Amino acid sequence: MISFVLGVEDLADTRFAVSPLQETVLSLRVLRDPGLSALHLPWHRSVLPRLGTLDTELLTSLVGRRHLLPDFLTPRPERFAPAFDDELAIARQTSLDLVRRDLLAPHAPGPLPEALRDATATDAKVVRLTATLCEVLGRYWERAIKPMWPQIRLTLEADMTYRARQLAKGGARLLFSDMHPNLRWHDGVLHIDEVTGEHRITAAGRGLLLIPSVFAHKPAPPIHPDDPPVLAYPSRAVATLWAPTSPPDATALASLLGAPRATLLRILQEPLATTEIARRIGVTPSAVSQHLRVLYATGLVTRARQGRQVLYRRSSLGDQLAHRVPVA
């Protein structure tokens, strides 16, 4: 059991974050052992063809006994939603001593997998191994996680909204009460059961960082007692994440905006003047102008002057809406 001792100031500094690097690293458990969670089988089936010649042996060798992972590859986020590349840059800069410690710990007391044997070799080999790990992780992120990251992040942020409401309603006791059966809050101490390690960490003003994860199957604190209190925990609503989506209703955009404005949004994938738009859809320029004013005011189109003409085009927001809900 690992325990976090949290004072009043630590509870005041409790915060949430999302971590694309941590999500990428935690997914390696499912990549190596798809039976770990049946919920992720659709993701596993879809991602394998995209990995191609990627060195998956190196990646899955990071997963140790009891599914432990190297802590240096999941650095504590310093802000709410760091970029993947920024987090990976921090991991690259980890000291050689910590890299060795964190690669050995998940496999202890057993030997290191062959792919990680350089962790016990010379400094130069540890530097090369760290660079290789980070480079392969970056390519794995691009293929396995990044395509789904918008949906994953929405799931994580929805979980955080729920947890924040629990904290507001009932304090720390209610916050942790339904986060996971392995978590217990008692008398200012958060106890984490069924984890590797038997130590008690006093936050001592460092606060507690909570990171929801779709790939965490149970609460995951750092392995080492010297690290600040961080807890990755299973997010809610993971079961719906990989569910196939129904095709969009082709009439939905017209229902939302009205047929004339939906038609305008569809054709404004290129810059057009009012008279040209009117000619294409067979209405008067004044009628087009009325609709364009509404679309411009709502940020769905942009405009720019070219000589005596004003050209209109879909904005990035308009692109998202048009692509999300196609017009019949």
**What single string gives the DSSP state of each residue in 44-68?**
HHHHHHHHTT--HHHHHTT--GGG-
**Cα(133)–Cα(125) distance, rounded to whole angstroms?**
12
Q: Average pLDDT, stretch 128-145?
A: 97
In this prediction, residue 250 carries a pLDDT of 58
Q: Which of 70-84, 184-198, 255-269 has the highest mean pLDDT?
A: 70-84
Give the pLDDT score at 11: 87
Phi and psi, residue 180, nearest 5° = -170, 145
Q: Is residue 237 pLDDT above 70, yes or no?
A: yes
Listed as own residue / partner, the contacts of 88-95 with beta carbons closer than 8 Å and 24 or more positions apart are 88/21, 88/134, 88/137, 88/138, 91/21, 91/130, 91/134, 92/130, 92/131, 92/134, 94/130
Dist CA 77 CA 38 (whole Å)? 29
pLDDT at 22: 96
Average pLDDT over residues 304-319: 87
Q: What are phi and psi of 45, to 5 degrees?
A: -65, -40
- The answer on pLDDT for 185 being more than 60 is yes
Inform me whether the pLDDT recorded for 230 exceeds 70.
yes
> How remote is the C-alpha of 148 from its chain's centroid?
9
pLDDT tier, 140 (very low <50, low <70, confident <90, very high otherwise): very high
Task: Provide the 8-state DSSP code for 180.
Answer: -
pLDDT of 325 reads 56
pLDDT for 87: 97
Residues 7-65: tens digit of each pLDDT? 989 888 899 999 999 999 999 999 999 988 888 999 999 999 999 999 999 999 999 98
Q: Could you give the 3-state DSSP secondary structure of residue 113?
A: coil
Per-residue pLDDT, averaged over 68-91, amounts to 94
Per-residue pLDDT tens digits for 89-103: 999 999 999 999 999
Indicate the pTM of the whole model: 0.74
DSSP conformational letter for 107: G
Domain 252-324: which topology? Arc Repressor Mutant, subunit A (1.10.10)
- Rounded mean pLDDT, 273-291: 91
Neighbours of 112 (CB within 10 A): 17
Mean pLDDT over 246-270 rounds to 79
Q: What percent of the chain has pLDDT over 70?
A: 96
Instruction: Decide if 185 contacts 176 (C-beta within 8 A).
Output: yes
Q: Is the pLDDT of residue 201 over 60?
A: yes
pLDDT band at 200 (very low <50, low <70, confident <90, very high): confident
Region 106-125: mean pLDDT is 94
Domain regions of the chain by residue span: 2-240, 252-324
pLDDT score of 266 more than 70: yes
Distance between CA atoms of residues 301 and 171, nearest Å: 45
